[in-house]
Chain A
């Protein structure tokens, strides 16, 4: 993983880092059957930035993800929050995507801290 601006693939979401805003965003689909290595590599890549307080916001905007990714996404959120306790998690979901909103609320409950929920227009 050479850069934090990673294009999406058939199996993985894109990753974009906005240094000025200190925002890390994952967007798209996460469908790999064995996504552990991809998420572990991402965590290793962002660890130095978390240590330097260079990530204040984790923005998650998934179209959908499989159950194999569900655990990895939880681990990513928990890891970032442990490393950066003032971290804000923004859970973006498309307008009318009630399931993804509900999924975000489930993650908020599992993580035991408040998320910010942002509804996007389709394609937004």
Chain B
């Protein structure tokens, strides 16, 4: 399988690959590695929190949607430009239409509109908010790309480049 990893000389900070449903030990290890990295690199608190949030959500997203026989992978790398968080998880074909509808809604909404939708779902306890929060918080970063890839995988790439 071709992975959308096209980075020059990446330093992998945390990487977790999964083809089964249970990986709790790996999850805490990955979080721990990545927090150690952030703490040792003197990032601003807000930035650390945002990266922490996104990495956690993407990691749990790949865990939640991992399907037997298809690879889930979440990785965070440091490049000479900055930080990149990637995640790749298989899409259950039964959810494809729902996911595409969600993308359409998100792409046509402002950050405030997305936040209002998130609040509505929290208050009414209806629907998931993970993808919406990922999308909203990713907008704080230099670049973000969230897309269904070949209708088989959900691919997210969120980057923080110092000089972007």
Contacts and interface: CB of A to CB of B under 8 A. Distances in A.
11 contacts: A33-B60, A33-B64, A64-B52, A70-B129, A71-B129, A96-B46, A97-B45, A97-B46, A99-B49, A106-B119, A110-B119
A10 B60 contact: no
Interface of A: 10, 31, 33, 63-64, 66-68, 70-71, 74-75, 94-100, 106, 109-110, 122
Contacts of A100: 49
B127 to A, nearest CB: 10
Interface of B: 28, 31, 44-46, 49-50, 52-53, 56-57, 60, 63-64, 115, 119, 121-123, 125, 128-130, 133
A106 B115 contact: yes
Nearest to B124: A71
Given A96-B44, A99-B49, 18 more contacts: A31-B60, A33-B64, A64-B49, A64-B53, A66-B53, A66-B57, A66-B60, A67-B128, A70-B129, A70-B133, A71-B121, A71-B125, A71-B129, A74-B122, A100-B49, A110-B119, A110-B123, A122-B45
A106 B111 CA distance: 14
Contacts, number: 54
Contact of A67 (B63, B119, B125, B130): B130
A67 B123 contact: no
Contact of A10 (B31, B125, B133): B31
A67 B133 contact: yes
Given A67-B128, A67-B129, A96 B45 contact: yes
Contacts of A71: 121-122, 125, 129
